[in-house]
Amino acid sequence: MAETNFVDYVKICCRSGKGGAGSVHFHRDRTTAKGGPDGGDGGRGGHVVLRGNAQLWTLLHLKYRKHVIAEPGGNGTSALKHGKNGKDEILDVPLGTVARDAETGEILMEITEDGEERVLVKGGRGGMGNAHFKSATLQTPRFAQPGEPGEDNWMILELKILADVGLVGFPNAGKSTLLSKLSAAKPEIADYPFTTLVPQLGIVPYRDFRSFIMADIPGIIEGAHEGRGLGLRFLRHIERNSLLLFLVPADADDIHKEYQILLNELRQYNPELLDKRRVLAISKADLLDEELELELQKDLPNIPHLFVSSHTGKGLVQLKDLLWRELNPQPEL
């Protein structure tokens, strides 16, 4: 994903179409001088609709489109003819897009399937023509309903990456390197913090032509839930991952402490993230000898863990096996 092309947040003004007015009309022809009411109904105003598109991975195409305006409905006419419905304004969005009200922050919908369509802003209803108001005591109603006005709301669209495994770790933990070794993804890799400025996705091949998707989430730092570092900008992407792979380098001062800091950042952002299955990988294990590795084992968190090295390939096959088992747990007999 090119950094300049990855957009995961847009704010747009959505205006649905006004409903068409009902018609006030009375039937007239060569043989009928004073016929009854035959005014048709107005058409519905156009909706603003979100549609899932699996071919999209960014909201870039909506970044500079600040106003989305749907067509108004047509007015009703004589002979009970219904006004034309306004054309819906359909916005294609990547899977994993969440729409929320910009004013209240309320989540309105989530788009998770290709081709899924959800009405974001409803068009106004068309007004009823005067034919609806005829009664025994009112033979010639000279009024009809106006169409309902459309809605005009500011909306926020946020993209949350859909992936099976989310890589969680501090900057320089080796997440990008690991992703490049396990998949065909080619993230930028360098020896300085925040090399990764956008989430990176990679398809990890597994046995028998199976695979799973791994996402490299940009590095978290202590205080990320308060907006420090890249902070809140990317923490939301972790919400969509089925399994969290924590990556802590073997040369860290205290592996267990770094893991707890990462865990706390997720807890502070969204406690529900702790309900996800977790795996710990200690990267840069080529720096350790067997004796030091056994010593470090004594103080590791009580979750599935492995020592791996992207440089030498140590533990990478076993890591894929572990991730696959965690993603596809076998039911207990």
Report the C-alpha gap between 320 and 326 in whole angstroms. Answer: 10
Contact 125, 38 (CB under 8 A): no
Output the pLDDT for position 325.
Answer: 93
Output the pLDDT for position 131.
Answer: 94
Output the pLDDT for position 224.
Answer: 46
Output the pLDDT for position 243.
Answer: 92
Which ranges of the chain have pLDDT less than 70? Answer: 1-5, 185-198, 219-235, 331-333
DSSP 89-137: EEEEE-TTEEEEETTT--EEEEE-STT-EEEEEPPPPPPPPGGGG--SS
Q: Where do you find CATH 2.70.210.12 in the chain?
A: 1-159
CATH of 165-327, one of 3.90.1300.10, 3.40.50.300, 3.40.50.720, 3.40.190.290: 3.40.50.300
Output the pLDDT for position 156.
Answer: 96
**pLDDT tens digits for range 250-271:** 988 889 998 998 888 888 888 8
Q: Where do you find CATH 3.40.50.300 in the chain?
A: 165-327
Report the C-alpha gap between 191 and 170 in whole angstroms. Answer: 13
Helix boundaries (H) for the chain: 175-182, 232-235, 255-269, 290-297, 316-327
Query: What is the DSSP secondary structure assignment for residue 209, as one 8-state letter?
Result: G
Residue 171 β-bridge partners: none
The phi and psi torsions of 55 (rounded to 5 degrees) equal -80, -10
From the CB of residue 37, how many other CB atoms can be counted at a distance below 10 Å? 24
From the CB of residue 4, how many other CB atoms can be counted at a distance below 10 Å? 9
CATH number of 1-159: 2.70.210.12
Contact 157, 99 (CB under 8 A): yes
